[in-house]
Copies of this chain bind each other. A is one copy, B any other.
Amino acid sequence: MTKTVQVLLARRPQGDVTADCFKRVEVDLAAPAEGQVLIRSRYLSLDPYMRPRMTETRSYTPPFELGKPLTGGVIGEIVASANPKFSAGDTVIGMLDWASHTLHDGKGLRKIDPAIAPLPAWLGTLGMPGFTAWYGMNRLCKPKAGETVFVSAATGAVGQIAGQLAKLAGARVVGCAGDDAKCNFAVRELGYDACFNHRLERDYGAMLDRLCPKGIDADFENVGGKIFHAVFARLSDFARVAFCGAISEYQDKEPMAGPPKMFAIVQRRLSIQGFIISDHLPLMGEFASEVGALVRAGKLKSRETVIDGLDNAPQAFMGLLKGENFGKLVVKVA
């Protein structure tokens, strides 16, 4: 018998996520039954997409269930196995509970080699955020040399990779982030041509006119809201929008109106594509090979914030939704 700590969804948030949306429980887990493994969590990934899953929506991406553990990307170690594919000591990655230990049937669980990259990187550049950045930038935005690409949340887990991929394609890359340190990091470390602090700037349009004088040819959209409105108004003819997230809208009680003048979509032949990376898992191998090569060649930098202890995950997640993290946010569970 193993004691596990789990974090449950206790209440669906109305507007801002609050501490009482979460509940910590201790549960006894039985030994693995035939086919099962017992996993000890080492790192838990916290990502903005979890916020919409806390609300019930009509989308077929299932919302988190009330009274059940939240789930997320987890790197863990097999503690005990009754599944021939896994042995005690294996390091694995999968969509698991926010929990110290999980009993799992092994489906969708992948073994990883911790010698290749530090464990948090498997939840960032080499994991779902990196895959999301690669798919959205290289498959949807398709930047060409000399084009201008905008990345909102420029230093977030996804944005920091997306911006660097656009630079590697030869584009001028402009972003925005929520404080000056992030903007400095974007320009000095990630290679952005410019990055503005959207908390200090009142007139996003004037700022974009200055930083993107030839318009915006591709937008990797993570933020939505007023920043997207300003970007939308400056999209060039035949511009592509890879719509990945809208973090500024997740906690709104009333949905915000879309940008004015939808007819611009026709006049400027815009292409706007929403995507969720889990629809594109068959491309995972291609991503891993391309981005893995870039990482090995030292061509992709990344920054992580590591929070200590599962009990701090709710607080860290609330901070993530307010932009308090820097780069990829992971929780060191144990």
Is the pair B266, A228 in contact by a Cβ cutoff of 8 Å? Answer: no
Q: Which of A4-12, A17-25, A90-98, A244-252 makes up part of the contact surface?
A: A244-252
Residues in B neighbouring A32, C-beta threshold 8 A: none
Residues in B neighbouring A257, C-beta threshold 8 A: 257-260
- Say yes or no: A224-B262 contact (C-beta < 8 A), given A60-B237, A257-B257: yes
Residues in B neighbouring A249, C-beta threshold 8 A: 261-263
Is the pair B60, A263 in contact by a Cβ cutoff of 8 Å? Answer: no
Flag whether A292 is at the interface (Cβ < 8 A): no
Is the pair A59, B267 in contact by a Cβ cutoff of 8 Å? Answer: yes
Q: How far is the CA of A57 from the CA of B261 in the complex (A)?
A: 12
- Say yes or no: A262-B246 contact (C-beta < 8 A), given A269-B275, A271-B272, A272-B271: yes
Flag whether A126 is at the interface (Cβ < 8 A): no
Q: How far is the CA of A237 from the CA of B57 in the complex (A)?
A: 12
- Say yes or no: A274-B279 contact (C-beta < 8 A), given A243-B262, A262-B258, A263-B246: no
Instruction: Tell me how many residues of A have a C-beta within 8 Å of chain B.
Output: 37
Q: How far is the CA of A305 from the CA of B237 in the complex (A)?
A: 34
Q: How far is the CA of A249 from the CA of B260 in the complex (A)?
A: 10
- Centre residue among A52, A224, A260, A266 by max chain B CB count within 10 A: A266
Nearest CB of B to A79, in Å: 36
Q: How far is the CA of A297 from the CA of B162 in the complex (A)?
A: 51
Flag whether A334 is at the interface (Cβ < 8 A): no
Partner of A270, one of B52, B244, B272: B272
Flag whether A273 is at the interface (Cβ < 8 A): yes
- For A272-316 the 0/1 string (1 means CB < 8 A from B) is 111110010000000000000000000000000000000000000
Nearest CB of B to A252, in Å: 9
Is the pair A265, B271 in contact by a Cβ cutoff of 8 Å? Answer: no
- Say yes or no: A259-B261 contact (C-beta < 8 A), given A52-B267, A266-B245: no
Is the pair A255, B261 in contact by a Cβ cutoff of 8 Å? Answer: yes
Is the pair A266, B275 in contact by a Cβ cutoff of 8 Å? Answer: yes
Q: How far is the CA of A25 from the CA of B160 in the complex (A)?
A: 61
Is the pair A255, B246 in contact by a Cβ cutoff of 8 Å? Answer: no
Q: How far is the CA of A273 from the CA of B274 in the complex (A)?
A: 12
Flag whether A31 is at the interface (Cβ < 8 A): no
Flag whether A188 is at the interface (Cβ < 8 A): no
Q: How far is the CA of A60 from the CA of B272 in the complex (A)?
A: 20
Q: How far is the CA of A61 from the CA of B264 in the complex (A)?
A: 12
Flag whether A256 is at the interface (Cβ < 8 A): yes
Nearest CB of B to A82, in Å: 37
Residues in B neighbouring A3, C-beta threshold 8 A: none
Q: Could you give 13 example pairs across A and B, Cβ below 8 Å?
A: A52-B267, A60-B237, A61-B267, A256-B261, A256-B262, A257-B258, A258-B259, A264-B274, A265-B272, A268-B274, A269-B273, A269-B274, A271-B273
- Beyond contacts A249-B262, A269-B274: 8 other A-B pairs, Cβ-Cβ < 8 A, are A243-B266, A244-B266, A245-B263, A249-B263, A250-B263, A257-B259, A258-B259, A266-B276
